[in-house]
C-alpha cells in the first residue's frame, strides 16, 4: 500500500470560463503550474494579452501540501477577489494551480458581496472545465552494478513500477531510475537482494 502524501490532485488541463454580471465581464483562466516562476510567466502573459482590462485578480497554491499560496485582489476591495478565487482552488482540493480572473468593468458597481460571488463563480467555471489529474511524487535513484547483474536489476525495477531514465556502461553499469516515492524502500530491498548486496544505491 502506498504511503500517505504520495500523490495529490492538480488540474488536468488549462481551461477558461466567462461570466457577465451587470455589464462587467469576468474572464477566468485556470492553469496547472509547476512552480512560482511558471505562475509569474502565466500572469505576465495574461496581463499582456488582456492589457486593456480593469483588473487581473488571482490566486495560486503550489506543492504537494499546498503550503505555498497567494491571493491577490489587484486593486479590488480587500477580500473580494483573491480570497474567493483561492477558496475555489481549496474547495476543489487542488495544488500546483493558478487561477486568474480578468475583469472588464461594465460601469455598475457590484458591491462587496456581488464582487466576491462574481470572482468565485468565474473561477469555479474555469476550474470545473479543467478537470482533475493525480500527481505522483517520485524520486530518482542511481544504481551502480556489475554487468552480470543488470538483468536482475531491471526485473526488480520493473516489478516495483520504476522507469529507466538512462544507462551508462563502463567498467560497471550506472542506471538512473525514477520510482514512486512510496515504493523507494521496497525497490532498495529488491535491488540489494537481486545483487546479493553489491549494488550501490544513491538517491538524488
Reported as a single tens digit per residue, the pLDDT across 34-60 is 999 999 999 999 999 999 999 999 999
- What was the pLDDT predicted at 204? 87
Q: Is the pLDDT of residue 182 over 80?
A: yes
Please give the C-alpha separations between residue 157 and each of 5, 53, 152, in angstroms, as whole numbers: 22, 52, 9
Q: Is 117:88 a contact under the CB 8 Å cutoff? A: no
- Whole-angstrom Cα distance, residue 41 to residue 195? 47
- Global pTM exceeds 0.85: no
- Residue 54 has φ and ψ, to the nearest 5°, of -80, -40
Q: Is the pLDDT of residue 197 over 90?
A: yes
Alpha helix ranges (H) inside 77-110:
82-91
- What was the pLDDT predicted at 6? 81
Contacts of 5 (CB under 8 A, 6+ apart): 64, 65, 137
The burial of 82, by beta-carbon neighbours within 10 Å (0-12 exposed, 13-18 middle, 19 or more buried), is given as buried
Mean pLDDT of the chain: 94
- Whole-angstrom Cα distance, residue 136 to residue 96? 12
Domain covering 7-135 assigned CATH 3.30.230.30 in the classification: yes
Kindly state the average pLDDT of the residues 136-151: 94
User: Around 190, how many Cα atoms within 13 Å sit in the side-chain half-sphere?
Assistant: 18
Give the domain ranges of the chain: 7-135, 137-203
Of residues 18 and 204, more confidence is placed in 18
- What was the pLDDT predicted at 201? 95
Q: Identify the band that residue 5 occupies on the pLDDT scale cut at 50, 70 and 90.
A: low
- Whole-angstrom Cα distance, residue 201 to residue 144? 7
pLDDT cut 90: percent of the chain above it = 89
Q: CATH class for domain 137-203? A: alpha beta
Amino acid at each position: 500500500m502506498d504511503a500517505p502524501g504520495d500523490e495529490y490532485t492538480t488540474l488536468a488541463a488549462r481551461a477558461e470560463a466567462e461570466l457577465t454580471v451587470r455589464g462587467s465581464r469576468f474572464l477566468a483562466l485556470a492553469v496547472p503550474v509547476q512552480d512560482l516562476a511558471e505562475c509569474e510567466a502565466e500572469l505576465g502573459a495574461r496581463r499582456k494579452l488582456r492589457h486593456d482590462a480593469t483588473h487581473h485578480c488571482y490566486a495560486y497554491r503550489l506543492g504537494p501540501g499546498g503550503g505555498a499560496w497567494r491571493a491577490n485582489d489587484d486593486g479590488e476591495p480587500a477580500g473580494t477577489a483573491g480570497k474567493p478565487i483561492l477558496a475555489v482552488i481549496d474547495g476543489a482540493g487542488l495544488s500546483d494551480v493558478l487561477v486568474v480572473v480578468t475583469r472588464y468593468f461594465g460601469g455598475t458597481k457590484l458591491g462587496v458581496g456581488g464582487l466576491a460571488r462574481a470572482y468565485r463563480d468565474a473561477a469555479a467555471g474555469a476550474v470545473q472545465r479543467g478537470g482533475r489529474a493525480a500527481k505522483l511524487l517520485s524520486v530518482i535513484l542511481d544504481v551502480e552494478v556489475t554487468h552480470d547483474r543488470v538483468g536482475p536489476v531491471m526485473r526488480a525495477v520493473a516489478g516495483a513500477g520504476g522507469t529507466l531514465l538512462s544507462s551508462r556502461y563502463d567498467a560497471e553499469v550506472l542506471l538512473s531510475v525514477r520510482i514512486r516515492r512510496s515504493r523507494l524502500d521496497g525497490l532498495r530491498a529488491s535491488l540489494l537482494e537481486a545483487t546479493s548486496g553489491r549494488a550501490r544505491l544513491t538517491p538524488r
